Amino acid sequence: MIEPLQETLAIRAATEADSALLLRFITQLADYERLSHAVVATEQDIHAALFGPHPGAEAVIAEYDGQPAGFAIFFHNFSTFAGRKGIYLEDLFVLPELRGRGIGGALLRHLAALAVERGCARMEWAVLDWNEPAIGFYREMGAEPMDDWTVFRLSGEALRNAGEGKR
């Protein structure tokens, strides 16, 4: 009798060799979020940002049955009120054909365990208002929306102007 294949899920830290894979996942995430036009990162940018001399973030890869299935990119932030660092989840993505198999939840649980292990006060992230499946998923995990906060961003020319003291 032939034994059926057992589906396996593993989460591992990304390595330098994953730079191209991470960029591919980022591009697929941007497609899903209708933001493809915003992706300007190159494989070299990802490599330098995650694996260079001063990494700005970390990444983990989810592998399902030995194949890349999704990723999460995160970094430490800081809560002055708690006096402790936290984890900010920048991106989480699971291949569309593999959604519903617990991969996204496993990635979130992995990061939550990492946050606890590192003594973090909390884990935070942003989600697009229209992404109801993600919002529902996050609520099921016990996450609470921070409706009393508005995210602000300086970028491009506005960032340069602010840095130069211009308005």
SS3 102: coil
User: Cα–Cα–Cα angle for 12, 34, 154, nearest 5°?
Assistant: 85
Cα–Cα distance measured from residue 80 to residue 62, given in angstroms and rounded to the nearest whole number: 32
User: Cα–Cα–Cα angle for 108, 35, 126, nearest 5°?
Assistant: 35
The yes-or-no answer on residue 138 being catalytic is yes
Cα–Cα distance measured from residue 64 to residue 130, given in angstroms and rounded to the nearest whole number: 28
Name the burial class of residue 72, with classes exposed (0-12), middle (13-18) and buried (19+) by CB atoms within 10 angstroms of its CB.
buried
Catalytic option among 32, 64, 88, 138: 138
Active site residues: 138
